[in-house]
């Protein structure tokens, strides 16, 4: 697929979910690099920078996207010829794809240990990482029941219930606003994340923070399943995560909206759950309290403040 087509598919959400977006971007940069013909390293780098910008502009919230793009683009540092740069990019992209796949598997293993036989688990949206925990526990023979939300307005819950149904997991499908009615029947909430900031706040599909509040009130455990490449390095500068606000026609028929001149439709795609409502974040490095986010950003992802010095020059 051409790079622009890939970018369109991410923008239009044919490819969606933070992990998939990151892997798709890494693979797109690799494929784009391989199509370059010529020997001028400057033109090659320039083309790669443009490709990276095109991918970064697709969706603003999932931090996995800039983290994956940076990981692949950084591989060009120190290369002296186009073939060297191409091969470094291919190696980095392939290594990202493999480590992302392993990260989700590890999260599944670690998350499954938090699920006991007979547990009722609630999940929101369609998260590979959250589903990995549930499906691993199911494969281990634990008897589970899941509540899955509808996820207005894009109904990603349909993807989730199909996967759970295909795996033979007993599942209840509920509208988003029914969460509080059922939360006392739930032992554990597991969601994914699009970003985790340095203060341990979790950015995920709109509605996650209401679910976390309901879980907190009911003393139900709230787990977030997130690969470490969803942790946001720039949050150590105090930068906020941009919350994507999508087209209003996803929420209200434009013909109806046209009859309501005093009504403004809002459609934020994500919200922020403060760290105090999250019991643990299950990463491939282990389950951590959200307050350990800085350690992940600095020691595991390798982003100290010195990485940002050029921003201040
Ligand atoms: C998807 C969403 C998912 C996270 C984590 O939103 O909020 O919970 O991206 O998913 P959208 P994963 O459908 O708008 O992309 O664990 O698969 O990375």
Give yes or no: 279 in active site.
Answer: no
Among 127, 203, 212, residue to substitute to test ligand 1 (most atoms within 8 Å of Cβ): 127
156 Cβ closer than 6 Å to some ligand 1 atom: yes
Pairing assessment for the beta strands 195-196 and 202-205 based on DSSP bridges: antiparallel
Q: Where are the domains of the chain?
A: 3-105, 114-312
Q: How far is the CA of 91 from the centre of ligand 1 (A)?
A: 26
Pick the catalytic residue from 119, 125, 133, 279: 125
30 Cβ closer than 6 Å to some ligand 1 atom: no
Per-residue pLDDT band for 136 (boundaries 50, 70, 90) equals very high
Evaluate if residue 309 carries a pLDDT over 80. no
**Which residue's CA is the nearest one to ligand 1's atom 11?**
17
Which residues are CB-neighbours of 88 under 8 A, at least 6 positions away? 75, 76, 79
HSE at residue 272, side-chain half, CA atoms within 13 A, is: 14
DSSP assignment of 99-132: HHHHHHHHHHHHHHTT--TT-EEEE-S--HHHHH
Secondary structure E strands in 3-65: none
Superfamily of 3-105 according to CATH: translation initiation factor eif-2b, domain 1 (1.20.120.420)
Evaluate if residue 311 carries a pLDDT over 90. no
Q: How far is the CA of 58 from the centre of ligand 1 (A)?
A: 15
Per-residue pLDDT, 133: 99
Give yes or no: 125 in active site.
Answer: yes
The alpha-carbon radius of gyration of the chain (Å, integer) is 20
pLDDT tens figures, 66-119: 999 999 999 999 999 999 999 999 999 999 999 999 999 999 999 999 999 999
100 Cβ closer than 6 Å to some ligand 1 atom: no
Q: Which CATH number fits domain 114-312: 3.40.50.1700, 3.40.140.10, 3.40.50.10470, 3.40.1410.10?
A: 3.40.50.10470
pLDDT tens figures, 213-253: 999 999 999 999 999 999 999 999 999 999 999 999 999 99
150 Cβ closer than 6 Å to some ligand 1 atom: no
pLDDT tens figures, 157-177: 999 999 999 999 999 999 999
**Which residue's CA is the nearest one to ligand 1's atom 10?**
127
Pick the catalytic residue from 119, 133, 194, 279: 194
Among 62, 126, 211, 270, residue to substitute to test ligand 1 (most atoms within 8 Å of Cβ): 126
Residue 246, CA distances (Å) to 13, 68, 209, 309 in order: 11, 23, 18, 33
């Amino acid at each position: 697929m051409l790079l622009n087509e890939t970018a369109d598919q991410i923008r239009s959400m044919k490819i969606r979910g933070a992990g998939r977006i990151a892997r798709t971007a890494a693979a797109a940069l690799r494929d784009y690099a391989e199509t370059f013909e010529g020997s001028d390293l400057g033109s090659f780098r320039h083309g790669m920078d443009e490709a990276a910008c095109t991918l970064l502009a697709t969706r603003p919230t999932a931090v996995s996207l800039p983290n994956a793009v940076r990981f692949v683009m950084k591989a060009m540092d120190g290369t002296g010829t186009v073939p060297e740069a191409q091969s470094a990019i291919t190696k980095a992209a392939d290594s990202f794809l493999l480590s992302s796949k392993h990260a989700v598997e590890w999260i599944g293993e670690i998350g499954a240990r938090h699920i006991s036989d007979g547990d009722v688990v609630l999940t929101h949206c369609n998260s590979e990482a959250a589903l990995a925990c549930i499906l691993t526990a199911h494969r281990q023979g634990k008897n589970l029941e899941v509540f899955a939300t509808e996820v207005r307005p894009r109904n990603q819950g349909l993807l989730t219930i199909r996967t759970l149904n295909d795996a033979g997991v007993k599942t209840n499908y509920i509208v988003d606003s029914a969460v509080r009615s059922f939360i006392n029947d739930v032992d554990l909430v597991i969601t994914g994340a699009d970003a985790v900031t340095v203060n341990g706040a979790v950015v995920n599909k709109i509605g996650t923070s209401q679910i976390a509040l309901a879980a907190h009130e009911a003393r139900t455990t709230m787990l977030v399943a997130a690969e470490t490449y969803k942790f946001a390095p720039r949050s150590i500068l105090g930068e906020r995560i941009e919350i994507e606000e999508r087209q209003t026609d996803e929420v209200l028929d434009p013909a109806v909206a046209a009859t309501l001149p005093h009504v403004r439709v809002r459609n934020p795609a994500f919200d922020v759950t403060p760290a105090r409502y999250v019991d643990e974040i299950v990463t491939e490095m282990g389950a951590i309290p959200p307050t350990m986010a800085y350690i992940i950003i600095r020691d595991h992802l390798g982003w100290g403040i010195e990485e940002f010095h050029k921003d201040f020059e």
